[in-house]
């Protein structure tokens, strides 16, 4: 046994007032990329209100803004869109991996491992220059959607698809994931999908972004940092929330069952996914934006079931818990209307958030300082060491 000595180690951290569980409210760095504002403006991407971007810009413009620091001109946007199409090619090693991966593997595991493999085939992954990281970021924006869609299509026996140069990023995503392309309904879906991509693209030091920045701070390659981010996003308390919301809607099934289902869940103290936010205590402004799009799309699709279920749940949660929906809640309604497979919801999040992750990795490595926080020690005080032959 070990004897306890009643003295504190010299290095013990005594100031518990400085400790914040989950790092809530802790300022961990500086960034020019995103301001999370609970006021009228909501989120700002490099100074631009998120509502303006979601209503008037395309996701390509937003990705360009995050990576280059300004909204593109017509020519810059055209060149950027062309690069995204031209670089939507998967290296042979990645294609072999997609063909050999177990059919039951979660798509997030596939995209995480696939991004890591992209780092293996990079011609010079140790080049951490700003220009090299921007080029890698554009390649990832182009390759990740194709990787996700190709893996899904191989598993389900569907023919493989390639992005089309005459389609927007969102239109190509919808085409790759669902085969929808030509009709007016598909175009309406793509507009809503585009808005959701913009809303998901960046959100300051969230769990996955912070994971990417911590990894990037070691001056490793961008692929390693993005792989860390994907691993963090897979968790149901972060990116996996939209899947959980959709599963809840499907389980409820009809508007008539919604109120009883939610009240029973609350009575049994089950968590209702899609509500509350660690930072946005007064409500998520992104939710109101996507809700407007979803209401319109429900009418276009002639299917208001999912939207009415959502409205019922929102009403009860506000009444009973004082909680408001976050972005994942109504986005799940949109993706159900688009008939995107549930297992692809979080990978779809990756297709958007990779723009923010890469912008953060670039920012971190352009002005780097290794992240090395401290822990508040809560173990025993200093103990006297007892040799093995004297222990009982």
Q: What DSSP assignment string belongs to 144-185? A: HHHHHHHHHHHHHTPPP----TTS-HHHHHHHHHH---SSHH
- What pLDDT, on the 0 to 100 scale, is given for residue 23? 82
Distance between CA atoms of residues 6 and 16, nearest Å: 20
User: Can you give the pLDDT at residue 125?
Assistant: 81
Reply yes or no on whether 277 is catalytic. Answer: yes
Which one, of 87, 112, 110, 115, lies nearest residue 99 by Cα?
110
In the set 203, 277, 293, 360, the catalytic residue is: 277
CB 181 within 8 A of CB 174: yes
What distance in Å separates the CA atoms of residue 242 and residue 33, rounded to the nearest whole number? 24
Global pTM value: 0.92
End-to-end CA distance of the chain: 6
Residues contacting 152, CB < 8 A, separation 6+: 107, 158, 177, 341, 343, 344
At the fourth CATH level, the homologous superfamily of domain 241-337 is: Cytochrome P450-Terp, domain 2 (1.10.230.10)
| pLDDT by residue, tens only, the chain of 392 residues | 444 444 444 444 455 667 888 787 788 899 999 998 766 667 999 999 999 999 999 999 999 999 999 999 999 999 999 999 999 999 999 999 999 999 999 999 999 999 999 999 998 888 999 999 999 999 999 999 999 999 999 999 999 999 999 999 999 999 999 999 878 899 999 999 999 999 999 999 999 999 999 999 999 999 999 999 999 999 888 888 888 999 999 999 999 999 999 999 999 999 999 997 666 656 688 999 999 999 999 999 999 999 999 999 999 999 999 999 999 999 999 999 999 999 999 999 999 999 999 999 999 999 999 999 988 899 999 999 999 999 99
Segments in the chain forming alpha helices (H)? 50-56, 59-68, 74-86, 92-100, 107-121, 130-156, 169-178, 184-200, 207-216, 222-233, 241-252, 255-267, 285-301, 305-321, 327-337, 345-366
In sequence order, the β-bridge partners of residue 122 are none
Which CATH code of 1.10.580.10, 3.40.50.1980, 2.40.30.10, 1.10.357.10 fits the domain covering 34-235+351-366? 1.10.580.10
Which of 194, 221, 284, 328 is an active site residue? 328
Residues 6+ away with beta carbon under 8 Å from 107: 148, 151, 152, 343, 344, 346, 347
What's the token pair of residue 231? 């691993």
User: Which pair of structure tokens corresponds to residue 36?
Assistant: 């999370």
For the chain, domain boundaries: 34-235+351-366, 241-337
CA–CA separation, 147 and 162 (whole Å): 11
């Amino acid at each position: 046994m070990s004897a306890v000595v009643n003295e504190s180690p010299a290095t013990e951290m005594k100031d518990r007032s400085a400790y914040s569980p989950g790092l809530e409210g802790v300022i961990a760095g500086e960034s020019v990329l995103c301001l999370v504002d609970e006021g009228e403006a909501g989120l700002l991407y490099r100074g631009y209100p998120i509502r303006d971007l979601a209503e008037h810009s395309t996701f390509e413009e937003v990705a360009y803004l995050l990576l280059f620091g300004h909204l593109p001109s017509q020519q810059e946007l055209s060149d950027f869109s062309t690069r995204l199409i031209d670089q939507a090619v998967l290296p042979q090693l990645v294609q072999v991996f997609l063909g050999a991966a177990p059919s039951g593997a979660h798509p997030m595991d596939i995209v995480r491992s696939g991004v890591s493999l992209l780092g293996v085939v990079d011609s010079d992954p140790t080049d951490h220059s700003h220009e090299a990281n921007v080029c890698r970021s554009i390649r990832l924006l182009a390759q990740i959607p194709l990787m996700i869609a190709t893996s899904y299509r191989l598993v389900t026996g569907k023919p493989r698809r390639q992005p089309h140069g005459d389609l927007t990023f969102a239109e190509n995503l919808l085409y790759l994931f669902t085969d929808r392309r030509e009709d007016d309904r598909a175009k309406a879906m793509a507009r809503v999908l585009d808005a959701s991509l913009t809303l998901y693209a960046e959100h300051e030091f969230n769990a996955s972004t912070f994971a990417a920045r911590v990894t990037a701070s070691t001056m490793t390659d961008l692929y390693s940092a993005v792989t860390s981010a994907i691993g963090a996003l897979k968790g149901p308390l972060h990116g996996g929330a939209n899947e959980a919301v959709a599963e809840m809607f499907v389980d409820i099934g009809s508007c008539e069952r919604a109120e009883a289902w939610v009240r029973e869940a609350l009575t049994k103290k089950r968590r209702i996914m899609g509500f509350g936010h660690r930072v946005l205590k007064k409500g998520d402004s992104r939710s109101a934006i996507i809700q407007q799009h979803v209401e319109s799309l429900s009418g276009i699709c002639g299917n208001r079931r999912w939207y009415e279920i959502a409205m019922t749940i929102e009403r009860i949660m506000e009444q009973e818990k004082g909680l408001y929906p976050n972005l994942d809640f109504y986005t799940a309604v949109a993706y159900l209307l688009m008939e995107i497979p549930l297992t692809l919801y979080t990978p779809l999040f990756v297709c958007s958030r990779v723009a923010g992750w890469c912008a953060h990795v670039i920012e971190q490595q352009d002005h780097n300082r290794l992240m090395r926080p401290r822990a508040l020690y809560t173990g025993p005080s200093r103990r006297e060491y007892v040799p093995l032959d004297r222990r009982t």
